Amino acid sequence: MKLLHLYYDIMNLYGDYANVSALCRMLEKSGKEVTVDRLSLYDTVDLSQYDFIYIGSGTENNQKLVLENLRRYTDDIKSYISSGKCALFTGNSFEMLGKTITDSSGKVYQGLGLLDFTVTEQNKTRVTGDVIYEADFLDKPLVGFVNKCSEISGIDNHLFTVKMGLGDREGSQTEGVRCNNLFGTHLTGPALMKNPHFLTCIAELVMGEKPSTDHLGFEQAGYEITLSELTKRMNE
Amino acid sequence: MRVFFTILVCKLLRFVGKLIGKGSSLPGQVALKLCPDILSRVKLPQYIIAVTGSNGKTSTVEMIAHILMSNGKTVAWNKEGSNQIEGVTTLVLNSATLGGKVKCDILLIESDERFAKYTFRYIKPTHYVITNLYRDQLTRNGHPEWVYNAIADSIHDGTRLILNADDPLVSRFGIGKKDVIWFGADKLSSDTAELESVYNDGAYCPVCKAPMTYSTFHYNHIGHFRCTKCDYKRQDTAYTITSVDLDKGEMEIDGKHRISLALKSLYNIYNILSAYTVARIVGIDGDKIAADMNNYVLKNGRVITFKLGKRRGTMLTSKHENSISYDQSIRVASAYKDGCDVVFIVDAVSRKYFTSDVSWLWDIDFEMLNNPNIRQIVLAGRYVNDLSVRFSYTDIPDEKIKRFESIDEAAQYLDSDRGEYIYVITCFSDKGKFLGKVEVD
């Protein structure tokens, strides 16, 4: 199996790389041979050869830089998504897939236009916080953290419903986007490491069969504790 | 009259606050209500020196104050570390006469990097030290570029910048400014040719975003950098660490001042260098500064030695949510040649606010502990499982690792006949929970 961590050095603000490490280990524990390619701005990429593509969070400036770089692969990404293969874009990386990103000065950047949403940034307040989300394809809630300065409008096929914390914009009850097996969410950092059931779901899509989950003892215990800490806060 | 009254109220509140053990923010907060522009109505001293940056602010300010005062200068400084505008207002008014004249030679301000722009709207520093820009408390700070923008808004014309030449994220503040005072380190014996860090915040030029190269790395993204495309590069320094021997615990500044180190870490040598730089600018002789810094032990409680049964140890207070702070502490422990055990405690991620986010653990270079000097690793606290997951992605043999959710049980386990020295690496938010179990020196 071939995994791609794209923009591994410039879109990796919150330990995001560990999402790829978690998936790689689960596939290996399931008996697969895995290679991980870490590529960035100055590399040439053939997306079609990968079984999984990951991009993490970047600063607002770096996201714009990466957007221009990624634009040449717009068609490739489109066919990758239509083929039903799995990709995960976390933090502000998935914002690049929409129609436009308007920055804090009002400048409008054209997105890749693969999805129908629009993004508006501001530079006054950093919007951060712990979250609990639910998904119709998972039997347990997700825990995580959001760290952004943007609001998103116009997502129909949302990924999560918000139980606690921030959604796509203030007051929004939904978060993220799903398109076939492309998952886009503003969860920052190692969301797959922190949510072993989400990891299992992604691994199953990548492998096409049930992965091995025997090695997840600490992950599972860590998830339960965070879920109970966050639930306590939610009920206070 | 209003100035007189506001200062009087601030002084009274501070006096009462001290008696009942309250913090130093409230008096300033009240003063700002009474007279919002009070800070621009007082007469300030000749030198107003501000210090900001991700790490080392408190230690650097303490060292500057120590040097200046032991050389006969009078210094007003925010000792209690309350570093937002309210705390600074308390400091200034409390050091002023009722007529509004601040009576000291030097006003020394540690300022929170995100809120400096509010403080310095009223008090323009004559000199402004920026120590470094790291991934620090990103759950509130966003990311280093976000903090960069906040600091940039706090820099006004007429302030002389004193910048860390070795940090490409800080060095950028000096672009287009002619009178910047640069400090930094020459190539050191502890340097590496390759980056030793989990991530690289110096991978791309902060100015033009082309790849950067380093001729030498001091630690993480701190080193001698150069953009491969534009002319952005590390500047020559006016005040310089010319050599360091961390084994012996010695550093040398400007090729002639040797200083013995109470704490053998690279962040300590940078703090000493920035304090040295400021003291030189104020006119203190280099030899005198070196004498004042020789074996200087910080009084701010960041390094605490203790006894646990028959064993001895040191707590290196590090910042949760700050990977470079952890990396530095791990380097200190890893260099302990006689062999040591290392304890990590993550029980509350923060003291001041709640979060359950442990993403920052993935940015810490725990792999450095895979080294014969490190005999055993004890993980403890509420987030012991997250620590365990993180360690499972290093090559450290599992039999070296012990795990306890309870800090009490971890302390009991450590109270054994083992001869190894103990390093405890944890944060302000969790340190008391361990120190309550040991005998602090």
DSSP string, A40-100: -TTS---GGG-SEEEE----HHHHHHHHHHHGGGHHHHHHHHHTT-EEEEEGGGGGGGSSE
DSSP state of B425: E
Which fold is adopted by the domain B303-440? Protein-Tyrosine Phosphatase; Chain A (3.90.190)
Q: Which of A12, A42, A222 sits opposite B199 (nearest CB)?
A: A12
pLDDT for the residue numbered A149: 97
Average pLDDT of span B243-270: 94
Separation in Å, CA of B211 to nearest CA in chain A: 9
Separation in Å, CA of A82 to nearest CA in chain B: 32
Cβ-based contacts of A62 with chain B (< 8 Å): 145, 204, 209
Domain ranges of chain B: 41-293, 303-440
Burial of B86 (0-12, 13-18, 19+ CB in 10 A): buried
H and E: helices and strands count for chain B = 15, 18
Whether residue B138 and residue A13 make contact (CB cut-off 8 A), yes or no, is: yes
* Beta pairing, strands A108-110 & A100-102: antiparallel
Q: What tens digit of pLDDT does each residue of B106-126 get? A: 999 999 888 888 889 888 999
Q: What is the CATH number of domain A2-235?
A: 3.40.50.880
* Residues in Cβ contact with A63 at an 8 Å cutoff, skipping those fewer than 6 apart: A11, A92, A93, A95, A96, A101
Separation in Å, CA of B407 to nearest CA in chain A: 16
Q: What are phi and psi of B249, to 5 degrees?
A: 75, 50
Q: What are phi and psi of B340, to 5 degrees?
A: -145, 160
Q: B263 pLDDT band (50/70/90 cuts)? A: confident
CB A39 within 8 A of CB A45: yes
pLDDT for the residue numbered B81: 67
Cross-strand pairs, B50:
B109, B128
Centre a 10 Å sphere on the Cβ of residue A139 and count the other Cβ atoms it contains: 8
% of chain A residues with pLDDT over 70 = 100
Q: What tens digit of pLDDT does each residue of B323-344 get? A: 999 999 999 999 999 999 999 9
Q: A46 pLDDT band (50/70/90 cuts)? A: very high
Q: What tens digit of pLDDT does each residue of B76-97 get? A: 998 876 778 888 899 999 999 9
Cα angle vertex A117, ends A116, A123, to 5°? 155
pLDDT for the residue numbered A213: 97
Cβ-based contacts of A128 with chain B (< 8 Å): 139-140, 142
Domain ranges of chain A: 2-235
Whether residue B383 and residue A12 make contact (CB cut-off 8 A), yes or no, is: no
Which fold is adopted by the domain B41-293? UDP-N-acetylmuramoyl-L-alanine:D-glutamate ligase (3.40.1190)
The ipTM value here is 0.97
Alpha-carbon gap, residue B145 to B138, rounded angstroms: 11
Alpha-carbon gap, residue A217 to A231, rounded angstroms: 21
pLDDT for the residue numbered A58: 97
User: Are both B41-293 and B303-440 of the same fold?
Assistant: no
Q: What tens digit of pLDDT does each residue of A55-113 get? A: 999 999 999 999 999 999 999 999 999 999 999 999 999 999 999 999 999 999 999 99
